[in-house]
Amino acid sequence: MSDFMLPDIGEGIVECEVVEWRVAEGDVIEEDQPVVEVMTDKALVEITAPEAGRITRLHVPQGEIAKVHAPLFAYEAEGADSTETAASGGEPAEEASAASASTAAAPAAAPSTAASSTPDSASGSRGRAAKDFILPDIGEGIVECEVVEWRIQEGEPIAEDQPVVDVMTDKALVEITAPEAGVMSRLHVAQGEIARVHAPLYAYTPEAGVDEDEESGAAAERPSTPAATAERAPVREASSGGPDGVRGRGPYGRIPAAPAVRRLLREHDLSLEAVPGSGKQGRVLKEDVLNYIEQGGAASASGEKASAASQATAPASSAPSAPSQGEVRVEPLRGVRAVMARRMVESASTIPHFQYGEEIDVTALLALRERLKPLAQAEGARLTLMPFFMKAMALAVREAPILNARLNDDVSEIHYLPSVNVGMAVDSRTGLLVPNVKGVERRSLLEVAAEVQRLTEAARSGKVAQEDLRDGTISISNIGALGGTYAAPIINAPELAIVAIGKTQWLPRFDAEDRVVKRAIMTVTWAGDHRVIDGGTIARFCNAWKGYLEDPERMLLHLG
């Protein structure tokens, strides 16, 4: 049984009045069926069912006030365990007899299991029912996330603070841990599906509510012997067989599949029986559907009649068509890549970018870094050029503070920020992330180097904390680390400037005596918000920054 949490239904709305329930307790509901009408202070809103199932309880009576992110009604999902349905007294007689028949056909070792095959109802009689884990706030403004990987399966024990699931938000990969010890009862959201903040993510039985009977009941739900595993094979084959075959192991003899998977099947005009499921109990996952489509399943399903007709009318002398050169691989745009796409389009289309390029001689900087590297390693820090770039930038901001400012929402005020939080673009496995080092002007070079190392490792693993991604004031994109010489960066709004650093090249240059010498030259390209930053301002700022990098020992005069 799952609680439906009243979602965000309008900006700033925290409660609403229940005007009319369209269903009653015990009613069967379909996915997207209207369930209740609620009145906010702005409009009448219709709430629909998230998936098919049966209403078990209405938490808020008609005419009462419902709170956003609080339970509105409880329902039993269509894919819930049949024993739970039987315990609630809502199972039809035919399904109940089918359930009893399957119990009678179980191995001889099942008598003790049969007595405990309804752990939820047993624990409920002792007041120790399974608890739903509600997905908490995992970042400012985040309302949903994608379940990337379940670390625990149904029936397995969990320990307090043990990693349970990895979820991907539009900013980073987040690891969700167990709030307390117990046994995993149910995974509400399948891998690859979307989980909602303040909605149930999984159910578990706390350790205090676990006894030998419950553990044996949980063990009965998963095969522990080869014989038990072998029993599933005929069911999987029958699920894709004739119309009289058993359609999976769900409560109504249906093949298990999440609502989003069923929707995807409808969009591609596919039947659930046609797609082989690789999940537990033959569950059809989204990956199964996408793989089936890539293999030509959608085309063969939707064009079967057309193909037969064309074969019937084709002349006998027609040559066979050439084989396909390859299939198009479809990958949904989600998580960090999705938000990056949205923000880059917004930034490029709403901010007038002003580009400014320069060359910087970093010969002295490279020599200084080589002298300091052993000392930094002794302190446990890896000294790259990035800490020097950041420290010099924080010093240059003193001469042009507008580059460390931002505009308010209606573009009527410039807010000069007191701290220089330098962001650095990192090419992570989840997409482009821009964590930032806070308060660079107050940190030593070693402290900045340690933060750069920490943030780089966290970003590449996709596990950056939300606070490390917020409140950046100016950014650096080190494209040169990948071999690029020039780039035209896009501003990371609401910041006003970003610099792209190209690779360092050893090039011939003239010295003060007009002799040709070998120098390390690095190219940089600035992008500034031309609404408030003009060419002269960015040139003066870049010259100050360049001065610190070309003569790095000058920075010693200004370090606090």
pLDDT at 316: 42
Within a 10 A sphere around the Cβ of 125, how many other Cβ atoms? 11
Which residue would you say has higher pLDDT here, 234 or 488? 488
Q: Above 80 in pLDDT, residue 198?
A: yes
What is the mean pLDDT of the segment spanning 397-422?
A: 95
Q: Above 60 in pLDDT, residue 191?
A: yes
pLDDT at 281: 64
Q: Which of 119-123, 339-343, 486-490 has the lowest mean pLDDT?
A: 119-123
What distance, in Å, lies between the first and last C-alpha atoms of the chain? 60
Q: Which amino acid is at 26?
A: G
**Dihedral, 154, 155, 159, 163 alpha carbons, nearest 10:** -20
The three-state (H, E, C) secondary structure of 217-232, written as one string: HHHHCCCCCHHHHHCH
Whole-number percent of the chain with pLDDT over 70 = 73
436, two tokens: 């930032």
Give the CA radius of gyration of the chain. Answer: 31
Whole-angstrom Cα distance, residue 354 to residue 175? 39
Which residue would you say has higher pLDDT here, 317 or 440? 440
pLDDT at 333: 78
Q: Above 50 in pLDDT, residue 83?
A: no
Q: Are 274 and 301 in contact (CB under 8 A)?
A: yes
Q: Above 90 in pLDDT, residue 508?
A: yes
What is the mean pLDDT of the segment spanning 507-516?
A: 94
pLDDT at 312: 40
Whole-angstrom Cα distance, residue 40 to residue 47? 12
What is the mean pLDDT of the segment spanning 180-203?
A: 90
pLDDT grade, residue 242 (50/70/90)? very low
What is the mean pLDDT of the segment spanning 434-463?
A: 92
Whole-angstrom Cα distance, residue 400 to residue 533? 10
Q: Which amino acid is at 55?
A: I
The three-state (H, E, C) secondary structure of 113-175, written as one string: HHHCCCHHHHHHHCCCCCEEEECCCCCCCCCEEEEEEECCCCCCEECCCCEEEEEECCCCEEE
pLDDT at 326: 80
Q: Above 70 in pLDDT, residue 125?
A: no
Q: Which residues contact 445 (CB under 8 A, 6 or more apart)?
A: 372, 383, 387, 388, 391, 559
Q: Above 50 in pLDDT, residue 284?
A: yes
pLDDT (tens digit, 9 = 90+) per residue, 137-186?
776 667 888 888 899 999 999 988 888 998 887 666 778 888 888 999 99
pLDDT grade, residue 259 (50/70/90)? low
Q: Which of 22-26, 243-247, 302-306 has the lowest mean pLDDT?
A: 243-247
Whole-number percent of the chain with pLDDT over 90 = 41
pLDDT at 536: 94
Q: Which of 312-326, 345-359, 374-388 has the lowest mean pLDDT?
A: 312-326
pLDDT at 257: 66
What is the mean pLDDT of the segment spanning 317-338?
A: 68
Q: How far is CA 43 from CA 17, 39, 46, 389, in A?
A: 11, 6, 10, 52
Q: Above 80 in pLDDT, residue 251?
A: no
pLDDT at 324: 54
pLDDT at 201: 93
pLDDT grade, residue 12 (50/70/90)? low
Domains of the chain: 226-302 (4.10.320.10), 352-557 (3.30.559.10)
Total length of the chain:
560
Q: Which of 151-160, 270-279, 366-375 has the lowest mean pLDDT?
A: 270-279
Which residue would you say has higher pLDDT here, 480 or 500? 500
What is the mean pLDDT of the segment spanning 252-280?
A: 71
pLDDT at 449: 95
Which residue would you say has higher pLDDT here, 368 or 163? 368
Catalytic residue numbers read 530, 534
pLDDT at 389: 97
Q: Which of 196-205, 244-253, 297-306, 329-338 has the lowest mean pLDDT?
A: 244-253
336, two tokens: 């960090």
Maximum average pLDDT range among 145-154, 226-235, 307-316: 145-154
The three-state (H, E, C) secondary structure of 486-505, written as one string: CCCCCCCCCCCEEEEEEEEE
What is the mean pLDDT of the segment spanning 63-84?
A: 78
pLDDT at 232: 35
Q: Above 50 in pLDDT, residue 57?
A: yes
